[in-house]
């Protein structure tokens, strides 16, 4: 028994040292993992900052009737419920940051796959939509 103990210990040491030399794959930091075109939720304050500093385009996907009752100044209205929604999206500049919103966030969330498919480079989603903008006391154009 005494003669096999050194062999077992040596085997154990060799297997542990070979494991220690195995390279560990580094995972990218979360900011590195984010790719162009991946939507990011933003608050009304963040959206307002993006509009001012990054010259982001506001894409209001509510109906024309909803838009007429009040909207973010400078917003482009493209009705998500219209059959030509994708065609209208195709006309927009894909390289300019876009902030998409609807009334509460449901339609705009549903629109995100189409924005990605059409290769918009910077997509921001106004969390909880125009309602959140109003609740934050942000300016509205009528």
- Active-site residue (options: 99, 102, 115, 126): 102
DSSP the chain: -TTHHHHHHHHHHHHHHHHHTSPPPPPPPHHHH--TT--EEE-HHHHHHHHHHS-PEEEE-S-HHHHHH-B-TTPEE--TTSTTHHHHHHTS-TTS-EEEE-SSSHHHHHHHHHHHHTT-SSEEEETTHHHHHHHTT---B-
129 in catalytic set: no
Q: What are the residue numbers of the active site?
A: 102
């Amino acid at each position: 028994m005494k003669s096999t103990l050194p062999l077992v210990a040596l085997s154990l040491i060799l297997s542990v040292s070979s494991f220690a030399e195995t390279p560990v794959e580094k995972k990218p930091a979360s900011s590195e993992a984010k790719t162009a075109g991946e939507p990011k939720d933003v608050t009304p304050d963040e959206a307002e900052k993006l509009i001012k500093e990054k010259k982001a385009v506001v894409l209001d996907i509510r109906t024309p009737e909803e838009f007429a009752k009040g909207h973010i100044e400078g917003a482009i209205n493209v009705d998500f419920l219209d059959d030509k929604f994708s065609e209208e999206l195709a006309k927009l500049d894909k390289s300019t940051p876009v902030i998409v919103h609807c009334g509460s966030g449901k339609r705009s969330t549903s629109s995100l796959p189409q924005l990605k498919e059409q290769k918009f480079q910077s997509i921001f989603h106004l969390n909880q939509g125009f309602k959140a903008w109003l609740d934050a006391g942000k300016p509205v154009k009528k």
